[in-house]
Amino acid sequence: MSGELLTKSKIADALGTNPMRVTRFIERNKINAVKKEGKRELFKLTDFNALKKELNEPEAKKEAQSHAFSKDDYILTLKKQLEDQQKQFDEVLKSKEETIDSLKETIATYKHAYEDMNDQLAVKDNQISSLTKLTN
């Protein structure tokens, strides 16, 4: 297998990593393809001994794990963001409902004051009518 020419994904499989990491290693170390078949680039596995060593170092493993972001992690992050947005929405809604209730109370108070003023005007009109009758 050492003399065999492999694609990035085959090298990744052989080293137990992902093709993107192999691609980054190629770009970082400026490794040229030995051969091209159409769009596929073929490399010697022996060109990746440094990557193999890097992958076997405990620090590299920890770093790779810390940078890994699985679909499940992404879904959990999105769920958390949705929950946070839902809480914010609920708080805004609650605040608006409180404002509406406050405005309804204000309207009721003004309506009651208006009715009291109308009652007072009616009493005043009756008093004026009574005084007019007395003066006539």
Q: How far is CA 100 from CA 71, 91, 96, 103, 132, in A?
A: 43, 14, 6, 5, 47
Domain count across the chain? 1
The runs of H, that is alpha helices, within the chain are: 8-15, 19-29, 49-56, 58-67, 71-135
Q: What is the pLDDT along the chain (136 residues), one digit of tens a residue?
A: 556 888 889 988 988 888 898 899 889 888 888 888 888 888 888 888 888 888 777 665 555 555 556 677 777 888 888 998 998 899 989 989 999 999 999 999 999 999 999 999 999 999 999 999 999 8
Phi, psi of 37 (to 5 degrees): -120, 95
Rounded CA-CA distance 31/10 in Å is 16
pTM above 0.75, yes or no: no
Domain membership of residue 91 as a residue range: 5-135
Distance of CA 40 to the CA centre of its chain: 37
- What pLDDT shows up at residue 30? 87
Rounded CA-CA distance 10/51 in Å is 14
- What pLDDT shows up at residue 47? 83
- What pLDDT shows up at residue 117? 93
